[in-house]
Amino acid sequence: MTQPTPIRRVLGPRPRLLDLFCCQGGAAKGYADAGFDVTGVDTAPQPRYPFRFVQADAVAYVLEHGAEFDVIHASPPCQHDSDCQRLQGNTHPDLIAPTRTALQATGRPWVLEKLVGPVMLCGPMFGVATYRHRYFETGGGLTLPQPHHPPHLVPQAKMGRPIPPGHYGQFVGNFSGVQHARDVMGVPWMNRDGIRECIPPAYTQFIGTTALAFLAAAGLGVAA
């Protein structure tokens, strides 16, 4: 009986990344900076999204098209049991479990943003002057190292209050200082709504660089 021949494809200059639940594209910018050709998917129109955009349900889209991409990132909104939901009375369905199942079905390396572990990224790890913690799980063979978490030595402004000199801002809720937040996180195209949701691009540039090294080491090529 003949065995199927493994197909080894050569990495092209711009491997493709699918950015699910993309919002205004904080994650997307970091992956593009790392060297990916990025396509975003969101149910809401995203006129500020700076890359190719598809308005669609993320889980349905990845089940149909996920295998066309080299790496897939997903940032579902707050889970059903999150602090966010309890505080705001939201009724978000739990999108983490169905998203993970759909990501696994693609057979592609994937990154899933969550509310807790296993890998946590924070601004000062990358020279970003804010303590925005973001958590990531990976799969499909991709693993992420946990960078050293520097202690929070710079004081933080109180939530929603102007930022005193020598403090870091917290860009959550109805925060003031949109231009300052754009400058700090490197997201000059975003409005307040996008900023409060976004992954600082420096975080996904780190993840994207790790993913590119994984693709190269695994001999996985650019998806057709």
Ligand X SMILES: C[S@@+](CC[C@H](N)C(=O)[O-])C[C@H]1O[C@@H](n2cnc3c(N)ncnc32)[C@H](O)[C@@H]1O
Alpha-carbon distance of 60 to 57, in angstroms, equals 6
Q: Contact between 42 and ligand X (CB under 6 A)?
A: yes
Residues 9, 12, 14, 43: which binds ligand X (CB under 6 A)? 43
Decide whether 96 or 199 has the Cβ nearer to ligand X.
199
Q: Contact between 7 and ligand X (CB under 6 A)?
A: no
Structure tokens of 43? 């149910």
DSSP letters spanning 39-53:
EEEESS--TT--SEE
Residues 16, 17, 18, 27: which binds ligand X (CB under 6 A)? 27
Alpha-carbon distance of 10 to 220, in angstroms, equals 7
Residues 75, 79, 82, 210: which binds ligand X (CB under 6 A)? 75
Spatial strand order of the sheet with 37-42 comes to: 52-55, 37-42, 16-20, 71-74, 110-114, 134-139, 119-121
Residues 199, 207, 211, 215: which binds ligand X (CB under 6 A)? 199
CB of 169 to ligand X, least distance (A): 17
Alpha-carbon distance of 114 to 130, in angstroms, equals 19
Cα 94 versus chain centre, distance:
18
Decide whether 44 or 224 has the Cβ nearer to ligand X.
44
Q: Give the binding range for ligand X (CB under 6 A) out of 41-49, 141-149, 166-174, 214-222.
A: 41-49
Residues 21, 31, 36, 175: which binds ligand X (CB under 6 A)? 21
SS3 category, 192: helix
Decide whether 84 or 218 has the Cβ nearer to ligand X.
84
Q: Contact between 77 and ligand X (CB under 6 A)?
A: yes
Cα 60 versus chain centre, distance:
19
**Which residues of the shown chain bind ligand X in the complex (CB under 6 A)?**
21-27, 41-44, 57-58, 75, 77, 197-199
